[in-house]
Structure 1
Amino acid sequence: MTKLPSIGKPVSRLEGRLKVTGSAKYAGEYEAADLLYGYVVNSTITKGKIAVIDTTDAKALEGVIEVFTHENRPSTAWFDFQYADMDAPPGTVFKPLKDNEIKYNGQPIALVVAETFEMARYAAIKIKVAYIEEEFETDLESNINQARDPKKGLASMLKPPPPKPKGNFEEAYQNSFVRSSGEFKHGTEHHNPMEMFATTVLYEGKNKLKIYDKTQGTINSQMYVANVFGLKMKNVQVIAPSVGGAFGSGLRPQYQLFMAVMASLHLKRNVRVTLDRAQMYTFGHRPPTLQSVKFGADENGKVNAIFHKAIGETSQFEDYVEVVVNWANMLYPAENTLLEHKLVPLDVYSPLDMRAPGGSTGMHAIEITMDDLAYRLNIDPVELRLINYSETDKSSDKKYSSKELKKCYLQAAEKFGWNKRNPEPGSMKRGNKLVGYGMATGIWDANRLLARAQAIMTSDGKVEIKSAVTDIGTGTLTIMTQIASDELGLPIDEITFSYADSAMPFAPIQGGSFTVATVGPAVKAACKALNKKLFKKAKNIQDSVLSAARFEDVIFNEGFIFLKNNPELKISVAEILEANDGKEIKTTNTSMPNPLVYGKKARAVHSAVFVEVEVDQELGIIEVKRAVTAVAAGKIINPKTAESQILGGMIWGISKTLHEERILDNRFGKYMNANLAEYHIPVHADIHELDVIFVEEEDYFVNDLGVKGIGEIGIVGMPPAIANAIFHATGKRIYDLPIHFDKLL
């Protein structure tokens, strides 16, 4: 008797029909009786104080219920501790409406609450504000002399600081056979998920709230609200079954959640606050970063010296950090390294994790430098990486739990046709277009945290799995159902995965590519525990054919428990439930890595990216014509949703490299293109042939499912591969992102 597995099958997303038909409900779409609408008013200066805020005209409008400012903010809306949420960096969390001080441009300074959204928005323009302006600094490049070491905090567990220096970098670099160096600049990027941030708060009496929030962590938002407003955790329920994209922007509670809860508690009414597209640019962003890189190698191509320094932006009130400079020595085993990461506090809002935070920044500089070394050495870029291949993370001197990166290089190169490349820059043409081939390596951490899950078998023999985890569009619902199906031996349509509710068993925020590796084992553990309960009850049935069997001797399949070596001997789940008087059977279980063992090996997911570009010889217009990404990420639970994740990352890599650019006017400390007309992202015509390969990789050290995360790995190698392809096409090495045609003219 063998079970038909669900894991490994390309199952279509179970909630897909709801989303494409518009039936799925998002945070701003839940209806409630007597619902009030809030509209946020934002500061128009960058730094200073509010001298006068006159709300008289706004309050006089029919349908306006209240206008909240720092002058009448309810006293309950207060918090006085460092960490207000799971993803908070070291420092003091931003407090909306705390006082009259303006810390950054676009800071929320008032909330209008009215009977309709339109009236709230109209009343907002009637508020008169007089400011006392102060001098400010928003330019990273002109303030690098203010760079300092970041403060350490809880975030350093998942965002470790750079390793200590090894060997003697300066001596090794100066004595290297070839040297390569570069100064890299990355501009600000902003999250632009399709669904804008909204919170609907239902007031259920006695300070009890049901909250529909756009978030990547229901329990994180619950914890924030309870701590900030002094409420009992059990009286705050946060629900987020549908999230229209987030990419990191929903890891921390955003200010519309604070505003909606504040208004609801004070007015004892149901309140919804929705941000518009321009307001989506007033919190969080991928920080602008300056990087200096120097690599040295011997005559055989062996990298012997690595220097990587990054200077990133942070706010004046929090120290947001990313892992930017740690990656090179994780890939390339140089004996002499010097790695530094500094921060410059500026008058901006705290940056926020954005897909592959730090990784897509750092790997861009690292892989362009490796490409430059390859040209200087006259060694094929793939061959150079194979020369420097290591099964050990040299930065920690730990062996990788698994690493099939070599297969990634070889399989992707073959699929791409890398052997057809003429290595001479500018030598390949197609009509009036220069053709360039480029490649790069990708790496991302394979982490796992603690999570809980509940499995409930109902009286009809079907199973419900519960977890507070969200699904931000990655296919979490589908994958968790597949994991449960595999463990229980039940068809997918007999399993319901209930999720994204803070009242359910604990799950951390969904980010960092650790969701499946974290929640998946908890689901597996709960299902296994449920099977054990069923088996125990089966053994206790009178004259049971399994009375002498052990749990290891049986298999669960299609609603039966079979004896492995004699499938004729079986007991149906229906019989077990009948013997249990039709009562449901449930279990709740915790899964977490063993802290005594987990740190003994390095854990990572790897990729190899190959790209072809065309560059118009006269206009400098760049097109990515095709790309191949090969990924080694352990067991792939669902090849269909996994491929979609990698393709999404590849497209964002194209966007990051060639399109996305936030324009900051430092005279005003203001971003000037807070819209999707002027903040450019790719359209269908920009995306051509993209292929994904999943390389076979076995790794049961990371978890008992053998899975690694894939959310980030799709983007990290794309920007350098594109930049390297542009060099091959044009002979011009571009170090800054984004790369626009003017840099090639």
Structure 2
Amino acid sequence: MTQTLPETTTTRESVVGKPVDRVDGTAKTTGEARFTAEFSHPDLTHAALVHATVSRGRITAIDTSAASAVPGVVTVLTHHNAPALKSPRKVTPTDLSTMASGTSVNYLNTDEVHWDGQPIAVVVAESALAAREAAALVRVTYETAESTVDFTAEEPAAKPQKNNLVMQGSAKKGDAEAAFTAAPVKVDRRFTTPPLHHNAIEPHATLAVWDGDRLTVHDATQSIDWLRSHLALRFGIPTRSVRVIAPFVGGGFGGKGFIWAGTILTALAARATGRPVRLVLTRESVYRTVGGRTPSTQRVALGARTDGTLTSLIHTSVTRLGRVGGTPEAVTSQSKHLYAAENILVRQNLVELDLVSNAAMRAPGEAIGTFALEASIDELAYELGMDPIELRMHNEPERNPIDGKQFARRHLREAYRVGAERFGWADRTPEPRSMRDGRWLVGMGVASAFHPSMLFVANVVVRLSVDGTVLVHCGLQEMGMGSATVQAQVAADALGVPVESVRVEYGDSTLPMAPGAGGSMQTASVANSLLAACEKLERKLTKLGRSPQESPAAVLAREGLPSLEVSVGSDTRLGRMAGQLRFMSKFLMDQRRWMKAALGAHFCEVRVDPDTGEVRVSRWTASFDVGRVLNAKTATSQLKGGIVMGIGMALAEQTLIDPRNGRIMNPSLAEYHVPVHADIPPIDITYLDEPDPTMPLGLVGIGEVSITGVAGAIANAIHHATGKRIRDLPITLDKLL
């Protein structure tokens, strides 16, 4: 995808940090931007899924006669007639794309059923309407097996999560249990959070076209490169024979970072029929086939001296995996880093259930973990008779609490100071139910935000042309966060050219490889390689005798060169292996030396109707310590978006699962409640803009951190308003009455 920046910047002063308009703004607001389901192809057919209706068992009979008789049906694929697929590989650190598989199921190559909703047939027809009509007519008989689907009932059977290079299942410092027992002031609380689903505006969609053994896929993916590698593996073809195109993605939040049944089966159907196939999942099919956030139960136990010094911090969790896959969440991550407790114990436990595998969802782990930790800190503040901010600052660490590593950068004290002043925290009276606005009870709450930062490998090509334009090639993903915009700003500053002369081509696997858009790492990773490429280009210009006053284009004109091109990284097999080694060595070195994270302070005001229990979030201020901000406009939008999502998590969202059979009972936006405009207050965003000296341009990453702490701040504000502690999300009317 190629976009050109609008002509809003005409000088060559620094544009990094400025509120430059999005490169795709006009395309999206005029309808010019094309998303996956809007691409077509000659002789296109349409697909629909048939879902299993049992949570575990085996298909004994499948009758497709009525479906096949529907006018326009091309074929009905089942395990009896589907082409063979190769099984997903086990996760290995030498090939990080192995992390991308949503489940381990070999779709339509087995008669086994592993969860209620598993795709067991695909109908291909001349129209989407005919495909869906026919899918409803497929009749299936099962031999059922005993299944385990009730998370609450299985919690006692949870087993400790193992440590790995990416995530610690447990960690400790000192004897936290003994210190807790001896502490003069303590709180010991249990929290629960429900399953959640991503609900991106654009449902998952795929268009697959085969040309011999070459596969082209348009897909709503957050991870172009991993999808390409995974498809090559599953269909037994070279990676170079797969092309993935994703110019625009209508939201993902982690759900589109993995490869699910819809994408695999669309390519399978296209191979079986010899025709292009498009599959757009219904909203219900998204719930049935795409994993969401795990439910959790958490224990947070805090022990303190009477002056507020934390002597013990214990945080344990139980979350779930699917029996056929899933991603553990770093629920206790922030509890190793936020507070200078003398003794710390964190432990994560897992249960396996016969449900669709869970998946990463915005700030996976920290989003729900900060709810429990920050609500507990607030409770301890009340027990001590201290201001909640004062308690936090009293326990603000100078070094990483659990292992003594240096912080790469940490200005949380300043974030709280700035946020408290902007919000008017000093106007709060501390007693619960002490503030009113007419009939409404008014409450104020605070919470800390936390998310670790890291760099991945990215390859880029930069070409400078004699007409003064700069072309950046990188297969990065654009999900609405302004990725191409900020990279154009980076290149413009690095080369000293106007930002309107920079074009960024992205969203296609034929371009140099970029990491997936997740974990708040894409911007930093691409910028790191882009800066290196621009340095190589500058060195070449210097060798050509460039003077300080001479523009890059003038050098090329003088030398009679039409263009000059440089690259960083390689997409060859050896190049990829070298990139993986670079990533692992830097990752391990950083793990030993630094603690890097984005941080922030949330300030929330709520109004609660004392008669109905209705909660209204009336005001929000958030102050962030997120390193250098590359674009003031897109960054503010990202930070607001995370807060909105956190408000939904705190007050409305939950995926309801029938504990008898594992069926999702509210698989639509009619029954799964997300915030609407009327639910969201004015959101005041500020950030310190203090660079992280260990990161490219000092940036850290902002996509994930803003949702963390949000639910805790709301729960704390509700307690201040009503005197009631709600420790089970979402905080609905019934829990306050």
Shorter chain as normaliser: what TM range?
over 0.9
- Please name the residue that 1:635 is paired with: 628
Which of 717, 720, 723 is the matching residue for 1:731? 723
Structure 1 residues 209 and 526, CA gap change in structure 2 (3 angstroms): same
Which of the residues 278, 290, 295 maps onto 1:272? 278
Query: In structure 2, how many angstroms separate the alpha carbons of the residues matched to 1:242 and 1:324?
Result: 31
Q: 1:416 to 1:706 in 2, by over 3 A?
A: same
Equivalent position amino acid for 2:115 in 1: Y
Between stretches 315-324 and 434-443, larger displacement belongs to 315-324
Equivalent positions of 1:78-97 (< 5 A) are 78-79=86-87, 81-83=89-91, 86=97, 88=99, 93-97=104-108
* Superimposed CA distance per residue, residues 75-107 of structure 1 (whole angstroms, 9 cap, x where no aligned partner): 2x2225324973738997232112111111111
SS of residue matched to 1:705: helix
Aligned counterpart for 1:231 among listed residues 225, 230, 237? 237
Question: Which amino acid is 1:606 matched to?
Answer: L
Cα shift readout 1:51-76 (whole Å, capped 9, x = no counterpart): 1111122223332111111111112x
Q: Which residue does 2:64 correspond to in 1?
A: 55
The aligned counterpart of 2:124 is 113
Deviation digits for residues 261-285 of structure 1 (CA, Å, limit 9, x no counterpart): 1122232221111111111102211
Give yes or no for contact 2:87–2:104 (8 Å, CA) kept in 1.
no
SS at structure 2 position matched to 1:7: coil
- Does residue 604 (structure 1) correspond to residue 604 (structure 2)? The answer is no
Q: Does structure 1 residue 158 correspond to structure 2 residue 158?
A: no
Instruction: Give the aligned residue type for 1:482.
Output: Q
Q: 1:366 to 1:705 in 2, by over 3 A?
A: same
Query: Which residue among 400, 407, 411 is the counterpart of 2:418?
Result: 411
Q: Does 1:704 align with 2:688?
A: no
Q: RMSD of aligned C-alpha atoms?
A: 1.8
Instruction: Give, in angstroms, the shift of residue 432 of structure 1.
Output: 1.0
- What is the CA-CA distance between 1:228 and the residue it aligns to? 0.6
Query: TM-score, normalised to structure 2's length?
Result: 0.93
**Is structure 2 residue 403 aligned with structure 1 residue 396?**
yes
Kindly tell me: are residues 303 and 90 of structure 1, through their superposed partners in 2, closer, same or farther at Cα, counting changes over 3 Å? Answer: farther
CA-CA distance at 1:596 after TM superposition: 7.0
Task: Provide the residue aligned with 1:716 in structure 2.
Answer: 708
Offset of 1:479 from its aligned partner?
0.6
- Checking the alignment, whether the CA contact within 8 Å between 2:453 and 2:521 is kept in structure 1 is yes
Out of 661, 680, 684, the position equivalent to 2:677 is: 684
Q: Could you tell me which amino acid in structure 2 is paired with residue 108 of structure 1?
A: P
Residue 88 of structure 1 aligns to a residue whose secondary structure is helix
Aligned-residue offset at 1:308: 0.9
State the SS of the aligned residue for 2:257.
coil
Aligned partner of 1:711: which letter?
A: G
The CA distance in 2 between the partners of 1:299 and 1:699, in whole Å, is 35
Query: Deviation string for 1:290-313 (max 9, x for gaps)?
Result: 001100001110111011110001
Of 330-339 and 704-713, the range deviating more from structure 2:
330-339
1:133-152 equivalent positions in 2, closer than 5 A:
133-151=144-162
Q: Is the 8 A contact 1:355 1:712 kept in 2?
A: yes
What SS does the corresponding residue of 1:280 show, helix, strand or coil?
helix
1:438 is paired with a residue whose SS is strand
2:45 counterpart residue number: 36
Alpha-carbon spacing, 1:740–1:19, altered in 2? closer, same or farther (3 Å): same
How many residue pairs get matched? 709
CA distance in 2, matches of 1:624, 1:262: 47
Following the alignment from structure 1 to structure 2, what is the Cα–Cα distance between the partners of residues 341 and 87?
23
Q: Does 1:450 align with 2:457?
A: yes
Counterpart AA for 1:129:
V
Q: Deviations over 1:204-250 (max 9, x none)?
A: x2211221111001111100100110111111010111000000011
Q: How does 1:312-711 map to 2 (within 5 A)?
A: 312-318=319-325, 320-537=327-544, 539=545, 546=546, 562-563=547-548, 570-590=549-569, 594=586, 597-599=589-591, 600-701=593-694, 703-711=695-703
CA 89–469 in structure 1, closer or farther in 2 if over 3 Å, else same: closer
User: In structure 2, how many angstroms separate the alpha carbons of the residues matched to 1:586 and 1:421?
Assistant: 59
Distance 1:87 1:673 in 2: 31
Query: Alignment partner of 2:459: what SS?
Result: strand
Q: Which runs of 5+ in 2 are unaligned?
A: 1-10, 570-578
Cα offset, 1:159, TM superposition: 2.8
Q: Is the 8 A contact 2:50 2:120 kept in 1?
A: yes
Partner SS for 1:253:
coil
Closer, same or farther: CA 650–91 of 1 in aligned 2, 3 Å? closer
Distance 1:97 1:255 in 2: 10
In the aligned structure 1, how far is the partner of 2:444 from the partner of 2:103? Answer: 47
In structure 2, the CA distance between the partners of 1:246 and 1:90, relative to structure 1 (3 Å rule), is closer
Report the residue type matching 1:63 in the other structure. Answer: G
From the superposition, tell whether residues 596 and 434 of structure 1 become closer, same or farther in structure 2 (CA, over 3 Å): closer
**Paired residues of 2:293 and 2:358 also in contact (CA < 8 A):** yes
Structure 1 residue 212 corresponds to structure 2 residue 218: yes
Given residue 588 of structure 1, which amino acid in structure 2 is its aligned partner? S
User: Post-superposition shift, 1:582?
Assistant: 4.2
Q: Distance in 1 between matches of 2:175 and 2:162?
A: 27
Q: Residue 273 and residue 98 in structure 1: after superposition, are their counterparts in 2 closer, same or farther (change >3 A)? A: same
Q: Rg: which structure is higher?
A: 1
Confirm or deny that 1:256 pairs with 2:248: no
3-state SS, counterpart of residue 524 of structure 1:
helix
Aligned to 1:554: none
Query: Residue 597 of structure 1: CA displacement?
Result: 4.4
- Opposite residue 474 of structure 1, the aligned amino acid is M
Q: Please say if residues 458 and 583 of structure 1, whose CA atoms lie closer than 8 Å, have aligned partners that are also in contact.
A: yes
Question: What is the rounded CA distance, in whole Å, between the counterparts of 1:93 and 1:210 in structure 2?
Answer: 23
Instruction: Identify which of 281, 291, 303 aligns with 1:284.
Output: 291
One-letter amino acid of the counterpart of residue 36, structure 2 = A
Which secondary structure does the structure 1 equivalent of 2:124 belong to? strand
1:723 shift after superposition:
0.2
Range that drifts further, 709-718 or 664-673: 664-673
Q: What's the secondary structure of 2:229's corresponding residue?
A: helix
Greater shift, 80-89 or 115-124, is seen at 80-89
Structure 2 letter corresponding to 1:88 = M
Residues 606, 619 of structure 2: 8 Å contact kept: yes
CA distance in 2, matches of 1:70, 1:687: 47
3-state DSSP of counterpart to 2:356: coil
Displacement of 1:458 in angstroms is 3.0
CA contact (8 A) 2:98 2:230 kept: no
Q: CA shift at 1:333, angstroms?
A: 1.5
Distance 1:595 1:395, change over 3 A: same
Contact kept in structure 2, 1:65 and 1:113, CA below 8 Å? yes
Matches within 5 A, 1:162-241: 162-163=170-171, 165-203=172-210, 205-241=211-247
The answer on whether the counterparts of 2:48 and 2:124 sit within 8 Å (CA) in structure 1 is yes
Partner of 1:98: 109
What residue number does 1:21 align with? Answer: 30
- Secondary structure at the residue paired with 1:451? coil
Q: Secondary structure at the match of 1:444?
A: strand
Task: Indicate if the aligned counterparts of 1:82 and 1:90 stay in contact, CA closer than 8 A.
Answer: no
Give the direction of change, closer, same or farther, for the CA distance of 1:336–1:572 in structure 2 (3 Å limit): closer
Residue 668 of structure 1: how far off its partner (Å): 2.5
Where do 5+ consecutive residues of structure 1 fail to align?
540-545, 547-561, 564-569
SS in structure 2 at match of 1:682: coil
Is 1:82–1:91's contact at 8 Å kept on the other side of the alignment? Answer: no
